[in-house]
Amino acid sequence: MEIFRDFTFDAAHAIEGLPDGHKCKHMHGHTYRLTVYLTGGLDPTIGWILDFADLKKLVWTECLDVLDHKNLNEIAGMGSPTCENITLWIWGRLKPKLPGLTQITVREGANSGCTYSG
């Protein structure tokens, strides 16, 4: 069985190395949407894989407190703050804490994003 939870965070970034005139070369922001997927067995007493409140607290503590309303170009260890690198950075912080983590998706808006499953 697999569960998921959605989160949103707002952040700004600029992508270096792009040609003049490219809209992503200059500082701009997005409302990102993060979806975290977990698998696991059901707790026989309670009947869930993980308390959604515990998942929310962990994702905020490990990732979103660092990213929300921040300049992603200043986040240590992220590299160029592309959607792909943001996804890898989040995975790297969550996977050690969530062994059942199977996939994450980061969306920059309604029409584009990146999915990673390790």
- Give me the tens of pLDDT residue by residue for the chain, a chain 118 residues long: 999 999 999 999 999 999 998 998 999 999 999 999 999 999 999 999 999 999 999 999 999 999 999 999 999 999 999 999 999 999 999 999 999 999 999 999 899 999 999 8
Annotated catalytic residue: which of 22, 26, 28, 69? 69
- For residue 31, the model assigns a pLDDT of 98
Residue 24 is among the residues annotated as catalytic for this protein? yes
- For residue 41, the model assigns a pLDDT of 96
Degrees (nearest 5) of the Cα angle 38, 85, 105?
A: 30
Question: Domain residues of the chain, as ranges?
Answer: 2-116
Annotated catalytic residue: which of 24, 26, 28, 74? 24
Residue 62 is among the residues annotated as catalytic for this protein? no
CATH C-level class of 2-116: alpha beta
The burial of 96, by beta-carbon neighbours within 10 Å (0-12 exposed, 13-18 middle, 19 or more buried), is given as exposed
- For residue 97, the model assigns a pLDDT of 98
Residue 2 is among the residues annotated as catalytic for this protein? no
